Amino acid sequence: MGRVAVVMICRDDARGVERALLSVKPYVDELVVVDLGSVDDTPERARRCGARVETAVWGADRAALRNHALQRTDAEWAVVLEAGEWLDGGGAGLEELRGLAPDRVGLVDVVPGAASRGLAPVSMAPRILPRGVRFAGGHREHVVIDGLDVWRTGVVIASDDADAARWRHDRSSGEMLLLQALSVQPDDPHLLAQLGDILRSQGRLAEACEVLAAALEVTDAGEATRHALVVDTLDTLRQAGRFAEAIALMDAEMPHWTGSPDFSFAIGDLFFEIMLAQPEQAPQLAPLAETSWLRCLEIGDRPDLPGTLTGRGSFLAAQNLATLRLVLGDEAGAQEWWTRADRLRLDESLGRSARLPG
């Protein structure tokens, strides 16, 4: 029988740590909390729940912090949980891990908490890791799957926030640390991608475009992180209104991402944005946006792609098609796509195929 451990990183998370730990405690063998210097009573609350609390020093490399936490247990399975989350369903899926060989990565459904349930999309995340699997990517951490099978476990985690990891440092300090690191390693693709992510989140789109473009130039074609970087750069160029550069990037990268719903989704968004900015070109651009989003539905969701967003191959693409029909004055067509989007979202939540039949 293999052992199952919950691994959590905390800092000043007294508000949610007990709820998180107690929700999973009946289904696992060990609770491990790594505290990054809380000044509230987070560690004491965690211990009251039966967790083993260890301490670490905060650093800008999120992947390193994740890996440090994973190394605090020798259990065959590690379930990665945040203090702003809790087990919302599928506890039996955690119990069943004890009888499974630790040779695959488990996906969980991450759903919004009560405040925004039904308004924000359900996503899937690789949160159940066999012993030895680690994170990479520094500031933009991701699980290194390395050819392991990926399966949907049926475990459902609810989250209070879009970014439930309150232990992440504030963005302004993160930017300063990244700039310091880049002064030593100016061509590091991971550092550049992290800085671009911060700039984009702050609405500094012009700067983000330049930094993300620099990151792409020094990121090898075979890098696992390139998929998300291409999609993010394309989307940032669109948001910045730099349409010619976005189209040039689309043309250069299209042969590499024919199986990516995220790439096709970003292309559809690009054509739609240009159509809104240049309505006289709607007859030419609307079919291009429509074809791109229909392609998303043909591909379906691809949870195996690093940086993918669940729904771009299903209900999110259908929602965009509904919006397009509405903008074009086709209310009946818009309603039909909204109905299909609702059905696809339901299929996703029930674990059925996310592809649109026909």
Among 173-182, 202-211, 338-347, which is the least confidently predicted range? 173-182
> Has this prediction a pTM greater than 0.85?
no
Residue 223 has pLDDT above 90, yes or no: no
What the chain holds in terms of domains, given with CATH numbers, is 4-159 (3.90.550), 251-350 (1.25.40)
If one counts every other C-beta atom within 10 angstroms of the C-beta of residue 174, the result is: 18
Residue 117 has pLDDT above 50, yes or no: no
Q: How far is residue 88's CA from residue 333's CA, in Å, rounded to a whole number?
A: 35
In DSSP notation, 38-102 reads -SSSHHHHHHHTTPEEEE----S-HHHHHHHHHTT---SEEEEE-TTEEEEE-HHHHHGGGGS-S
Residue 191 identity (one-letter amino acid) = L
Q: Please state, in angstroms and as integers, the Cα–Cα distance from residue 258 to each residue in 229, 266, 299, following that order.
A: 16, 13, 9
Residue 358 has pLDDT above 70, yes or no: no
Segment 36-70, tens digit of pLDDT = 989 899 999 999 999 999 999 887 788 899 999 99
**Averaged pLDDT for residues 263-274:** 96
Mean pLDDT, the chain, rounded, equals 87
Percent of the chain at pLDDT above 90? 59
Segment 123-140, tens digit of pLDDT = 778 999 999 999 987 666
pLDDT of residue 258: 95
